[in-house]
A = this chain, B = another copy of it.
Amino acid sequence: MNHGGRSAALRGTGRATIADVAEQAGVDRAVVSKVLSDDPSLRVREETRQRVLEAATALRYRPNFHARGLARAQAGAIGLLVPAGNPLMVPIIAGAEEVAAERGLLLWTASHEGGLTERYLRLLRSGAVDAALLAGLRAGHDADELFRDPHLPTLLVNRRSVGAARWVVLDDERATRLATEYLIAHGHRRIGWAGGPAGVDTAERRQDGFRDAMAAAGLELDPAWIVRAEYTASGGAEAAATILRSPVRPTAIVAADANEGLGVWHALHAHGLSVPGDVSLIAIHKLPAEDYRIPSMTCVEMPLKQLGRRAAELVLDLPWDAPIRETLQTELTISDGTTVASPPPATRGGRF
């Protein structure tokens, strides 16, 4: 009955092992294992089952995470890497966690600074997680190694990949078109673009959307108003400053990202321009608690939580080597803030 293991008291760690439970219940370790994981292949007397359960409770037994992971050859967890410090990731995390919980899996979240560090690559390829979700990576990321890793389902979230085609994104192009059309509908003709960094996939798609909408409305693009910057508040401030160096200024600006939009707004204000009095502003994505801000930023709200959900579903449901190219088709709604108004009559409709 004693299977050679030292008792819990004798081992360094004070934790009870399955051998301790087996001994206490007077059964084989296999019985404990099977009872505790409800293995239908095991036939036990109800009384025995109870003894096992009681022994486990009495000893406060918890199966060892690593032993189980090793034996079952699966971690029971999914990993999510997000860019550090971006509040927009919060809903994505929430969505992924929801799906993980529904399936009895854990969600491990860790953050990166744009690229995959060697340390996280090692981790993901070490069997610590059963699937990996990579959100917000920069271009030229090192995820290729992961895609090549057999049997580790990996999915890019909110970024498309060049190599292995496994990604899920939002319809950034349409969102930006919507934003731009909204400004145009308010009478704006001179519209600037505070875009995202070159090489970042969403930045390209959003810029395409902007160009499309402008072209569709027959509006010219002043190259001085097309600026790229980081998706951060300080990036937005730089973008706005650049746009304002142009001899003619736009009556409205589309910001490719809400954090960036904040910076644009701030810089406009710093230059003595009122929003939306002098310049209107609309951004892609809505920041947490934006509804409580006064004034709040007008923006196109994208379903980030749903993106997180869908990403988790896809990575869990599809084979590791199946191509995944999904653009979430959802209702996109303009979240009315206070930063868009019609341009002053003097400039309205004018061609510069």
Contacts and interface: CB of A to CB of B under 8 A. Distances in A.
A292 B281 CA distance: 15
Interface string A169-207: 000000000000000000000000000000000000000
Contact of A107 (B12, B110, B149): B110
A126 B65 contact: yes
A288 B290 CA distance: 12
Number of copies: 2
A150 B66 contact: no
Interface of A: 12-15, 60, 62-70, 73, 75, 84-85, 87, 90-91, 93-94, 97, 101, 106-111, 119, 122-123, 125-128, 149-151, 233, 236-237, 259, 262-263, 265-266, 269, 287-289, 291-294
A70 B62 contact: no
Q: 6 nearest interchain CB pairs?
A: A14-B150, A66-B69, A65-B126, A65-B128, A66-B70, A233-B292
B87 A87 contact: yes
B106 A109 contact: no
- Name the prevailing secondary structure of the A interface residues: mixed
A13 B151 contact: yes
A96 to B, nearest CB: 11
A175 B60 CA distance: 41
A125 B122 CA distance: 24
Highest count of chain B CB atoms <10 Å: which of A13, A66, A151, A294: A66
B237 A265 contact: no
Contacts of A68: 126
Contact of A110 (B66, B108, B125): B108
Contact of A292 (B63, B149, B266): B266
B67 A70 contact: yes
B97 A106 contact: no
Given A97-B111, A106-B119, A66 B62 contact: no
Nearest to A266: B292
A89 B309 CA distance: 22
Given A15-B125, A62-B122, A62-B125, 16 more contacts: A14-B150, A64-B70, A65-B75, A66-B66, A66-B128, A85-B90, A87-B90, A93-B111, A97-B110, A107-B110, A108-B110, A109-B111, A233-B292, A265-B292, A265-B294, A293-B293
Contact of A109 (B66, B75, B109): B109
Nearest to A120: B106
A292 B265 CA distance: 8
Nearest to A91: B85
